[in-house]
Amino acid sequence: MKNFCDLFLNKSRSITEDFSKFESVVEFDEFCYKDTLLIKNILDNVVSKRDNFTIKAHEFDNENYEVDLLEIVEKDDFDTFFFSDCMKNIIIELSITKCVKNDCLSIYNFKVFDSFCSSLSEYQLLNILNEYIFSKNCRHFETITDINEQFFSGTLYSIGHKKKNIDNNIIRDDVISQFREIGQKIGYENLSFIPEDFHNFEKNKNSRLNQIFKIFEKFFSIIFISNKVIRIDDKNFKIEIISEKKVKETLNFHQLMNIRFSEAYKIYTWVYSAKTIDKIDIVKYFLYLESDEEIILDKDMFETIKFSYSQYLRENLSKFIDVQNKAIIAIEDNLKKFRDIRMSIGSILKTNSFTVLAFFISNYIIKEISNSQSKQLSIDVIKKSGYFICVIFLLYLILVMLQTFFEAKRVKKDYNDLKIILKKNIVSRYVDEYLPDKFIRGELVYLRNYSLVVCLIWGIEIGLMFLYIFFNK
Protein backbone atom coordinates (compact mmCIF):
# COMPACT_ATOMS: atom_id res chain seq x y z
CA MET A 1 0.00 0.00 0.00
CA LYS A 2 1.16 3.53 -0.82
CA ASN A 3 1.60 6.63 1.35
CA PHE A 4 -2.05 7.65 1.22
CA CYS A 5 -3.39 4.17 0.69
CA ASP A 6 -4.75 2.93 -2.65
CA LEU A 7 -8.19 3.79 -1.29
CA PHE A 8 -7.60 7.40 -2.30
CA LEU A 9 -5.73 6.87 -5.54
CA ASN A 10 -6.91 6.23 -9.07
CA LYS A 11 -5.34 2.76 -8.87
CA SER A 12 -8.31 1.56 -6.86
CA ARG A 13 -10.84 -0.75 -8.42
CA SER A 14 -13.43 2.04 -8.52
CA ILE A 15 -13.48 5.51 -7.06
CA THR A 16 -16.12 8.25 -7.13
CA GLU A 17 -16.34 11.68 -5.52
CA ASP A 18 -18.80 14.55 -5.62
CA PHE A 19 -19.64 17.44 -3.29
CA SER A 20 -21.25 15.24 -0.64
CA LYS A 21 -19.47 11.85 -0.79
CA PHE A 22 -16.23 10.05 -1.52
CA GLU A 23 -16.38 6.30 -2.23
CA SER A 24 -13.60 3.90 -3.11
CA VAL A 25 -13.32 0.13 -3.67
CA VAL A 26 -9.93 -1.64 -3.60
CA GLU A 27 -9.11 -5.33 -4.13
CA PHE A 28 -6.24 -6.92 -2.14
CA ASP A 29 -4.68 -10.23 -3.14
CA GLU A 30 -3.75 -10.80 0.49
CA PHE A 31 -5.15 -9.09 3.55
CA CYS A 32 -3.76 -9.53 7.06
CA TYR A 33 -4.28 -7.98 10.48
CA LYS A 34 -1.36 -5.56 9.99
CA ASP A 35 -3.10 -4.24 6.84
CA THR A 36 -6.16 -3.46 8.95
CA LEU A 37 -4.02 -1.47 11.39
CA LEU A 38 -2.31 0.34 8.52
CA ILE A 39 -5.61 1.29 6.87
CA LYS A 40 -7.13 2.53 10.13
CA ASN A 41 -4.00 4.54 10.90
CA ILE A 42 -4.01 6.13 7.43
CA LEU A 43 -7.70 6.96 7.64
CA ASP A 44 -7.24 8.57 11.04
CA ASN A 45 -4.50 10.77 9.60
CA VAL A 46 -6.04 11.51 6.20
CA VAL A 47 -9.80 11.80 6.67
CA SER A 48 -10.80 15.24 7.89
CA LYS A 49 -12.29 15.48 11.38
CA ARG A 50 -15.31 17.28 9.91
CA ASP A 51 -16.23 14.19 7.82
CA ASN A 52 -17.65 10.77 8.73
CA PHE A 53 -16.51 7.52 7.19
CA THR A 54 -17.16 3.77 7.10
CA ILE A 55 -14.67 1.08 6.00
CA LYS A 56 -15.92 -2.44 5.26
CA ALA A 57 -14.44 -5.62 3.81
CA HIS A 58 -15.76 -8.81 2.17
CA GLU A 59 -14.41 -11.64 0.06
CA PHE A 60 -14.34 -11.14 -3.68
CA ASP A 61 -16.90 -13.87 -4.35
CA ASN A 62 -18.95 -13.39 -1.17
CA GLU A 63 -20.61 -10.00 -0.84
CA ASN A 64 -23.20 -11.26 1.63
CA TYR A 65 -20.73 -11.50 4.50
CA GLU A 66 -19.36 -8.03 5.26
CA VAL A 67 -16.98 -6.96 8.04
CA ASP A 68 -16.72 -3.46 9.56
CA LEU A 69 -12.98 -2.85 9.93
CA LEU A 70 -13.60 -0.17 12.58
CA GLU A 71 -14.85 -2.93 14.89
CA ILE A 72 -11.53 -4.77 14.67
CA VAL A 73 -9.53 -3.60 17.68
CA GLU A 74 -7.27 -6.60 18.37
CA LYS A 75 -5.88 -9.52 16.40
CA ASP A 76 -8.42 -11.85 17.96
CA ASP A 77 -11.16 -9.72 16.46
CA PHE A 78 -9.56 -10.10 13.04
CA ASP A 79 -9.34 -13.88 13.42
CA THR A 80 -12.95 -14.01 14.61
CA PHE A 81 -14.30 -12.03 11.69
CA PHE A 82 -12.14 -13.54 8.92
CA PHE A 83 -11.54 -17.03 10.42
CA SER A 84 -7.85 -16.85 9.43
CA ASP A 85 -4.60 -14.91 9.98
CA CYS A 86 -4.47 -13.84 6.34
CA MET A 87 -7.20 -13.73 3.73
CA LYS A 88 -6.98 -13.70 -0.07
CA ASN A 89 -8.97 -11.70 -2.63
CA ILE A 90 -10.49 -9.27 -0.18
CA ILE A 91 -12.52 -6.22 -1.29
CA ILE A 92 -12.22 -3.08 0.86
CA GLU A 93 -14.97 -0.44 0.51
CA LEU A 94 -14.45 3.06 1.90
CA SER A 95 -17.31 5.58 2.11
CA ILE A 96 -16.83 9.16 3.38
CA THR A 97 -19.73 11.53 4.00
CA LYS A 98 -18.45 15.08 3.58
CA CYS A 99 -19.58 18.05 5.66
CA VAL A 100 -18.96 21.81 5.51
CA LYS A 101 -17.34 23.07 8.70
CA ASN A 102 -15.39 26.28 9.37
CA ASP A 103 -16.09 27.33 5.75
CA CYS A 104 -14.31 24.21 4.40
CA LEU A 105 -15.29 21.16 2.35
CA SER A 106 -12.92 18.24 1.69
CA ILE A 107 -11.76 17.01 -1.71
CA TYR A 108 -9.97 13.64 -1.38
CA ASN A 109 -9.09 13.01 -5.00
CA PHE A 110 -9.07 16.18 -7.06
CA LYS A 111 -8.85 14.39 -10.43
CA VAL A 112 -11.97 12.37 -9.67
CA PHE A 113 -13.76 15.44 -8.27
CA ASP A 114 -12.66 17.39 -11.34
CA SER A 115 -14.06 14.67 -13.60
CA PHE A 116 -17.39 14.67 -11.72
CA CYS A 117 -17.75 18.46 -12.06
CA SER A 118 -16.93 18.23 -15.76
CA SER A 119 -19.66 15.63 -16.25
CA LEU A 120 -22.33 18.06 -15.05
CA SER A 121 -23.93 20.61 -17.29
CA GLU A 122 -22.66 24.13 -16.74
CA TYR A 123 -25.94 25.24 -15.23
CA GLN A 124 -26.05 22.24 -12.86
CA LEU A 125 -22.53 22.99 -11.66
CA LEU A 126 -23.38 26.66 -11.15
CA ASN A 127 -26.37 25.72 -9.01
CA ILE A 128 -24.33 23.32 -6.87
CA LEU A 129 -21.59 25.91 -6.36
CA ASN A 130 -24.24 28.51 -5.56
CA GLU A 131 -25.76 26.20 -2.94
CA TYR A 132 -22.47 25.36 -1.22
CA ILE A 133 -20.92 28.83 -1.34
CA PHE A 134 -23.95 31.02 -0.55
CA SER A 135 -26.27 28.65 1.36
CA LYS A 136 -23.76 26.42 3.16
CA ASN A 137 -21.09 29.15 3.48
CA CYS A 138 -18.27 27.09 1.97
CA ARG A 139 -15.35 29.39 1.12
CA HIS A 140 -12.60 26.78 0.71
CA PHE A 141 -12.53 23.39 -0.97
CA GLU A 142 -9.59 21.73 0.76
CA THR A 143 -7.66 19.13 -1.25
CA ILE A 144 -6.73 16.48 1.33
CA THR A 145 -4.34 14.28 -0.65
CA ASP A 146 -3.07 16.82 -3.22
CA ILE A 147 -0.93 18.58 -0.65
CA ASN A 148 0.76 21.86 -1.61
CA GLU A 149 -1.43 22.15 -4.72
CA GLN A 150 -3.46 25.32 -5.20
CA PHE A 151 -5.86 24.73 -8.08
CA PHE A 152 -8.01 27.84 -7.91
CA SER A 153 -8.31 31.09 -5.98
CA GLY A 154 -10.93 33.73 -6.77
CA THR A 155 -12.54 36.55 -4.83
CA LEU A 156 -15.20 34.36 -3.18
CA TYR A 157 -13.71 30.88 -2.70
CA SER A 158 -10.60 28.79 -3.33
CA ILE A 159 -9.72 25.19 -4.21
CA GLY A 160 -6.48 23.81 -2.90
CA HIS A 161 -4.56 22.56 0.11
CA LYS A 162 -3.85 25.93 1.69
CA LYS A 163 -6.81 27.98 2.85
CA LYS A 164 -6.67 31.61 1.77
CA ASN A 165 -8.37 34.53 3.48
CA ILE A 166 -11.03 35.92 1.16
CA ASP A 167 -12.52 39.29 2.07
CA ASN A 168 -13.92 41.09 -0.93
CA ASN A 169 -17.46 41.93 0.19
CA ILE A 170 -17.11 45.65 -0.51
CA ILE A 171 -16.13 45.06 -4.14
CA ARG A 172 -18.93 42.50 -4.56
CA ASP A 173 -21.51 44.90 -3.13
CA ASP A 174 -20.34 47.71 -5.41
CA VAL A 175 -20.51 45.55 -8.53
CA ILE A 176 -23.90 44.06 -7.65
CA SER A 177 -25.24 47.55 -6.92
CA GLN A 178 -24.11 48.79 -10.35
CA PHE A 179 -25.48 45.63 -11.92
CA ARG A 180 -28.99 46.38 -10.62
CA GLU A 181 -28.83 49.81 -12.23
CA ILE A 182 -27.41 48.73 -15.61
CA GLY A 183 -28.63 45.21 -16.40
CA GLN A 184 -30.79 42.32 -15.28
CA LYS A 185 -30.17 38.57 -15.42
CA ILE A 186 -33.60 37.22 -16.24
CA GLY A 187 -33.51 33.42 -16.00
CA TYR A 188 -30.45 33.39 -13.70
CA GLU A 189 -31.90 35.40 -10.83
CA ASN A 190 -31.04 32.71 -8.22
CA LEU A 191 -27.31 32.88 -8.94
CA SER A 192 -25.35 35.42 -6.92
CA PHE A 193 -21.93 35.22 -8.59
CA ILE A 194 -19.94 38.02 -10.18
CA PRO A 195 -17.25 37.48 -12.86
CA GLU A 196 -14.38 37.94 -10.36
CA ASP A 197 -15.54 34.81 -8.51
CA PHE A 198 -14.27 32.72 -11.43
CA HIS A 199 -11.18 34.74 -12.26
CA ASN A 200 -8.21 32.56 -11.36
CA PHE A 201 -5.36 34.39 -9.62
CA GLU A 202 -3.18 31.28 -9.38
CA LYS A 203 -1.04 29.86 -12.16
CA ASN A 204 -3.13 28.05 -14.74
CA LYS A 205 -3.71 24.44 -13.77
CA ASN A 206 -4.39 21.73 -16.30
CA SER A 207 -7.85 20.70 -15.08
CA ARG A 208 -11.21 20.56 -16.79
CA LEU A 209 -12.78 22.35 -13.83
CA ASN A 210 -10.45 25.29 -14.36
CA GLN A 211 -11.51 25.50 -18.00
CA ILE A 212 -15.17 25.51 -16.94
CA PHE A 213 -14.44 28.36 -14.55
CA LYS A 214 -13.07 30.35 -17.49
CA ILE A 215 -16.38 29.78 -19.25
CA PHE A 216 -18.24 30.98 -16.15
CA GLU A 217 -15.99 34.06 -15.99
CA LYS A 218 -16.98 35.02 -19.54
CA PHE A 219 -20.61 34.04 -18.99
CA PHE A 220 -21.10 36.38 -16.01
CA SER A 221 -19.12 39.12 -17.76
CA ILE A 222 -21.65 38.97 -20.59
CA ILE A 223 -24.53 38.99 -18.10
CA PHE A 224 -23.24 42.23 -16.60
CA ILE A 225 -22.76 43.85 -20.02
CA SER A 226 -26.07 42.70 -21.50
CA ASN A 227 -29.61 43.85 -20.86
CA LYS A 228 -30.91 40.32 -20.49
CA VAL A 229 -29.55 36.79 -20.46
CA ILE A 230 -32.40 34.25 -20.58
CA ARG A 231 -31.89 30.56 -19.77
CA ILE A 232 -33.25 28.22 -22.42
CA ASP A 233 -32.07 24.95 -20.85
CA ASP A 234 -29.05 23.63 -18.92
CA LYS A 235 -26.71 24.17 -21.86
CA ASN A 236 -28.14 27.07 -23.88
CA PHE A 237 -29.05 30.67 -23.19
CA LYS A 238 -30.11 33.78 -25.10
CA ILE A 239 -28.31 37.14 -24.93
CA GLU A 240 -30.28 40.34 -25.46
CA ILE A 241 -28.58 43.72 -25.90
CA ILE A 242 -30.44 46.98 -26.52
CA SER A 243 -28.54 49.77 -28.27
CA GLU A 244 -29.70 51.49 -31.45
CA LYS A 245 -31.90 48.43 -31.83
CA LYS A 246 -32.42 45.18 -29.97
CA VAL A 247 -29.90 42.42 -30.74
CA LYS A 248 -30.48 38.80 -29.70
CA GLU A 249 -28.29 35.73 -30.01
CA THR A 250 -28.67 32.16 -28.75
CA LEU A 251 -25.50 30.48 -27.48
CA ASN A 252 -24.38 27.46 -25.51
CA PHE A 253 -21.79 27.66 -22.75
CA HIS A 254 -18.93 26.08 -24.71
CA GLN A 255 -19.27 28.66 -27.49
CA LEU A 256 -17.99 31.23 -24.98
CA MET A 257 -14.51 29.78 -25.48
CA ASN A 258 -14.57 30.99 -29.09
CA ILE A 259 -12.17 33.79 -29.98
CA ARG A 260 -15.00 36.30 -30.45
CA PHE A 261 -15.55 36.27 -26.65
CA SER A 262 -11.85 36.33 -25.76
CA GLU A 263 -11.94 39.78 -24.13
CA ALA A 264 -15.32 39.52 -22.37
CA TYR A 265 -13.83 39.71 -18.87
CA LYS A 266 -11.48 42.59 -19.75
CA ILE A 267 -14.33 44.57 -21.28
CA TYR A 268 -16.48 43.90 -18.22
CA THR A 269 -13.74 45.13 -15.83
CA TRP A 270 -13.15 48.18 -18.05
CA VAL A 271 -16.86 49.06 -17.94
CA TYR A 272 -17.15 48.67 -14.16
CA SER A 273 -13.84 50.34 -13.29
CA ALA A 274 -15.63 53.72 -13.39
CA LYS A 275 -19.09 54.45 -12.05
CA THR A 276 -20.43 55.99 -15.23
CA ILE A 277 -23.16 54.88 -17.60
CA ASP A 278 -21.24 56.18 -20.62
CA LYS A 279 -18.95 53.17 -20.92
CA ILE A 280 -21.66 50.54 -20.98
CA ASP A 281 -23.64 52.56 -23.53
CA ILE A 282 -20.60 52.77 -25.82
CA VAL A 283 -19.94 49.02 -25.46
CA LYS A 284 -23.51 48.16 -26.41
CA TYR A 285 -23.45 50.64 -29.30
CA PHE A 286 -20.39 49.04 -30.92
CA LEU A 287 -21.54 45.50 -30.21
CA TYR A 288 -24.41 46.22 -32.56
CA LEU A 289 -22.57 48.25 -35.21
CA GLU A 290 -19.59 45.92 -35.58
CA SER A 291 -21.02 42.50 -34.90
CA ASP A 292 -23.38 42.10 -37.89
CA GLU A 293 -26.17 40.85 -35.61
CA GLU A 294 -23.73 38.75 -33.55
CA ILE A 295 -22.21 39.55 -30.19
CA ILE A 296 -18.45 40.09 -30.42
CA LEU A 297 -16.18 40.75 -27.44
CA ASP A 298 -12.75 40.10 -28.92
CA LYS A 299 -9.49 42.06 -28.85
CA ASP A 300 -10.26 44.22 -31.90
CA MET A 301 -13.65 45.14 -30.47
CA PHE A 302 -12.05 46.08 -27.15
CA GLU A 303 -9.52 48.38 -28.83
CA THR A 304 -12.30 50.01 -30.88
CA ILE A 305 -14.39 50.62 -27.77
CA LYS A 306 -11.48 52.16 -25.82
CA PHE A 307 -10.52 54.42 -28.73
CA SER A 308 -14.13 55.55 -29.21
CA TYR A 309 -14.45 56.32 -25.51
CA SER A 310 -11.31 58.48 -25.59
CA GLN A 311 -12.75 60.36 -28.58
CA TYR A 312 -16.02 60.78 -26.73
CA LEU A 313 -14.19 62.34 -23.77
CA ARG A 314 -12.24 64.74 -26.01
CA GLU A 315 -15.33 65.93 -27.85
CA ASN A 316 -17.22 66.48 -24.63
CA LEU A 317 -14.28 67.81 -22.62
CA SER A 318 -15.40 71.47 -22.75
CA LYS A 319 -18.89 70.52 -21.57
CA PHE A 320 -17.38 68.32 -18.90
CA ILE A 321 -15.13 71.11 -17.57
CA ASP A 322 -17.99 73.61 -17.69
CA VAL A 323 -20.14 71.30 -15.57
CA GLN A 324 -17.34 70.93 -13.02
CA ASN A 325 -16.81 74.70 -12.80
CA LYS A 326 -20.53 75.28 -12.30
CA ALA A 327 -20.52 72.64 -9.60
CA ILE A 328 -17.74 74.35 -7.69
CA ILE A 329 -19.44 77.78 -8.01
CA ALA A 330 -22.78 76.38 -6.82
CA ILE A 331 -21.14 74.69 -3.86
CA GLU A 332 -19.18 77.78 -2.86
CA ASP A 333 -22.34 79.94 -3.07
CA ASN A 334 -24.17 77.56 -0.78
CA LEU A 335 -21.27 77.42 1.66
CA LYS A 336 -21.53 81.21 1.94
CA LYS A 337 -25.28 80.89 2.45
CA PHE A 338 -24.84 78.52 5.39
CA ARG A 339 -22.22 80.74 7.00
CA ASP A 340 -24.51 83.80 6.59
CA ILE A 341 -27.35 81.93 8.30
CA ARG A 342 -25.05 81.00 11.16
CA MET A 343 -23.85 84.56 11.58
CA SER A 344 -27.39 85.99 11.41
CA ILE A 345 -28.63 83.69 14.17
CA GLY A 346 -25.65 84.55 16.34
CA SER A 347 -26.17 88.25 15.59
CA ILE A 348 -29.79 88.05 16.83
CA LEU A 349 -28.66 86.69 20.19
CA LYS A 350 -25.85 89.22 20.53
CA THR A 351 -28.07 92.20 19.58
CA ASN A 352 -30.75 91.24 22.07
CA SER A 353 -28.11 90.78 24.74
CA PHE A 354 -27.02 94.38 24.16
CA THR A 355 -30.70 95.43 24.36
CA VAL A 356 -31.06 93.83 27.79
CA LEU A 357 -27.89 95.54 28.97
CA ALA A 358 -29.16 98.90 27.66
CA PHE A 359 -32.40 98.45 29.54
CA PHE A 360 -30.47 97.62 32.70
CA ILE A 361 -28.47 100.84 32.41
CA SER A 362 -31.58 102.89 31.63
CA ASN A 363 -33.37 101.42 34.65
CA TYR A 364 -30.44 102.33 36.85
CA ILE A 365 -30.41 105.94 35.62
CA ILE A 366 -34.17 106.35 36.07
CA LYS A 367 -33.96 104.80 39.56
CA GLU A 368 -31.27 107.27 40.61
CA ILE A 369 -33.29 110.17 39.28
CA SER A 370 -36.35 108.96 41.14
CA ASN A 371 -34.38 108.64 44.40
CA SER A 372 -33.04 112.12 44.05
CA GLN A 373 -36.60 113.50 43.65
CA SER A 374 -38.01 111.26 46.43
CA LYS A 375 -40.98 110.19 44.39
CA GLN A 376 -41.96 106.86 45.98
CA LEU A 377 -44.89 106.33 43.60
CA SER A 378 -42.67 106.70 40.57
CA ILE A 379 -40.20 104.19 42.04
CA ASP A 380 -42.91 101.55 42.56
CA VAL A 381 -44.09 102.01 38.99
CA ILE A 382 -40.54 101.68 37.67
CA LYS A 383 -39.92 98.51 39.75
CA LYS A 384 -43.09 96.87 38.49
CA SER A 385 -42.19 97.87 34.97
CA GLY A 386 -38.71 96.42 35.46
CA TYR A 387 -40.07 93.08 36.72
CA PHE A 388 -42.46 92.92 33.81
CA ILE A 389 -39.74 93.65 31.27
CA CYS A 390 -37.45 91.02 32.90
CA VAL A 391 -40.16 88.41 32.44
CA ILE A 392 -40.78 89.52 28.86
CA PHE A 393 -37.06 89.26 28.04
CA LEU A 394 -36.86 85.84 29.73
CA LEU A 395 -39.70 84.57 27.59
CA TYR A 396 -38.10 86.12 24.53
CA LEU A 397 -34.84 84.41 25.43
CA ILE A 398 -36.61 81.02 25.50
CA LEU A 399 -38.28 81.83 22.18
CA VAL A 400 -34.98 82.74 20.55
CA MET A 401 -33.36 79.50 21.79
CA LEU A 402 -36.22 77.44 20.36
CA GLN A 403 -35.96 79.38 17.13
CA THR A 404 -32.21 78.65 17.03
CA PHE A 405 -32.86 74.91 17.60
CA PHE A 406 -35.44 74.61 14.81
CA GLU A 407 -33.41 76.83 12.49
CA ALA A 408 -30.39 74.54 12.96
CA LYS A 409 -32.49 71.49 12.03
CA ARG A 410 -33.81 73.29 8.96
CA VAL A 411 -30.28 74.30 7.92
CA LYS A 412 -29.13 70.65 8.21
CA LYS A 413 -32.11 69.46 6.12
CA ASP A 414 -31.44 72.14 3.49
CA TYR A 415 -27.79 71.05 3.41
CA ASN A 416 -28.67 67.39 2.81
CA ASP A 417 -31.28 68.30 0.19
CA LEU A 418 -28.69 70.45 -1.58
CA LYS A 419 -26.23 67.54 -1.75
CA ILE A 420 -28.88 65.25 -3.21
CA ILE A 421 -29.86 67.79 -5.87
CA LEU A 422 -26.22 68.53 -6.78
CA LYS A 423 -25.39 64.81 -7.09
CA LYS A 424 -28.28 64.35 -9.50
CA ASN A 425 -27.20 67.23 -11.71
CA ILE A 426 -23.43 67.51 -11.20
CA VAL A 427 -20.51 65.15 -10.71
CA SER A 428 -20.83 63.36 -7.36
CA ARG A 429 -17.18 63.42 -6.40
CA TYR A 430 -17.13 67.22 -6.49
CA VAL A 431 -20.10 67.38 -4.15
CA ASP A 432 -18.50 64.97 -1.66
CA GLU A 433 -15.17 66.77 -1.87
CA TYR A 434 -16.44 70.34 -1.43
CA LEU A 435 -19.49 69.62 0.73
CA PRO A 436 -18.33 66.97 3.21
CA ASP A 437 -20.70 65.95 6.00
CA LYS A 438 -18.19 67.13 8.60
CA PHE A 439 -18.70 70.72 7.34
CA ILE A 440 -22.36 70.93 8.38
CA ARG A 441 -21.62 69.10 11.64
CA GLY A 442 -18.91 71.63 12.44
CA GLU A 443 -21.17 74.57 11.60
CA LEU A 444 -24.02 73.28 13.77
CA VAL A 445 -21.69 72.57 16.71
CA TYR A 446 -20.33 76.11 16.45
CA LEU A 447 -23.87 77.54 16.32
CA ARG A 448 -24.95 75.53 19.36
CA ASN A 449 -21.92 76.46 21.47
CA TYR A 450 -22.13 80.13 20.45
CA SER A 451 -25.85 80.23 21.29
CA LEU A 452 -25.31 78.65 24.70
CA VAL A 453 -22.61 81.17 25.63
CA VAL A 454 -24.70 84.17 24.55
CA CYS A 455 -27.78 82.70 26.28
CA LEU A 456 -25.81 82.23 29.51
CA ILE A 457 -24.55 85.82 29.47
CA TRP A 458 -28.01 87.09 28.61
CA GLY A 459 -29.54 85.09 31.51
CA ILE A 460 -26.97 86.49 33.95
CA GLU A 461 -27.80 90.01 32.80
CA ILE A 462 -31.54 89.47 33.33
CA GLY A 463 -30.90 87.92 36.75
CA LEU A 464 -28.69 90.79 37.87
CA MET A 465 -31.22 93.33 36.66
CA PHE A 466 -33.99 91.54 38.57
CA LEU A 467 -31.94 91.49 41.79
CA TYR A 468 -30.98 95.11 41.38
CA ILE A 469 -34.61 96.18 41.05
CA PHE A 470 -35.71 93.97 43.95
CA PHE A 471 -33.11 95.09 46.52
CA ASN A 472 -33.01 98.81 45.65
CA LYS A 473 -35.63 101.03 47.27
Give pLDDT tens digits for 37-62: 888 888 888 898 999 999 998 888 77
Task: Flag whether pLDDT at 336 surpasses 70.
Answer: no
Share of the chain above pLDDT 70, in %: 70
Comparing 294 with 120, the larger pLDDT belongs to: 120
Decide if 140 contacts 103 (C-beta within 8 A): yes
Kindly report which listed range (29-38, 112-121, 212-221, 391-400) carries the lowest average pLDDT score. 391-400
Q: What pLDDT was estimated at residue 424?
A: 61
Q: What pLDDT was estimated at residue 344?
A: 65
Average pLDDT for the chain: 78
pLDDT band at 1 (very low <50, low <70, confident <90, very high): very low
CA gap 320, 66 in Å, rounded: 80
- All structural domains of the chain with their residue ranges: 6-99, 106-315, 319-471
pLDDT band at 3 (very low <50, low <70, confident <90, very high): very low
Q: What pLDDT was estimated at residue 472?
A: 65
Q: What pLDDT was estimated at residue 437?
A: 73
pLDDT band at 27 (very low <50, low <70, confident <90, very high): confident
- Residue 465's alpha-carbon distances to 318, 351, 363, 374, 472, in angstroms, are 65, 17, 9, 22, 11
Kindly report which listed range (105-109, 213-217, 312-316, 371-375) carries the lowest average pLDDT score. 371-375
Q: What pLDDT was estimated at residue 405?
A: 74
CA gap 10, 15 in Å, rounded: 7
Task: Flag whether pLDDT at 371 surpasses 70.
Answer: no
Nearest CA to 419 out of 433, 408, 435, 440 is that of 435
- In one-letter notation, the amino acid at residue 439 is F
Give pLDDT tens digits for 132-164: 999 999 999 999 988 878 889 888 899 988 777
DSSP, res 259: G
Decide if 391 contacts 287 (C-beta within 8 A): no
pLDDT band at 203 (very low <50, low <70, confident <90, very high): low
Task: Flag whether pLDDT at 460 surpasses 70.
Answer: yes
Nearest CA to 472 out of 383, 357, 393 is that of 383
Q: Which secondary-structure segment (H or E) carries 203? A: none
Q: What pLDDT was estimated at residue 280?
A: 79
Q: What pLDDT was estimated at residue 2?
A: 45
Nearest CA to 95 out of 163, 25, 28 is that of 25
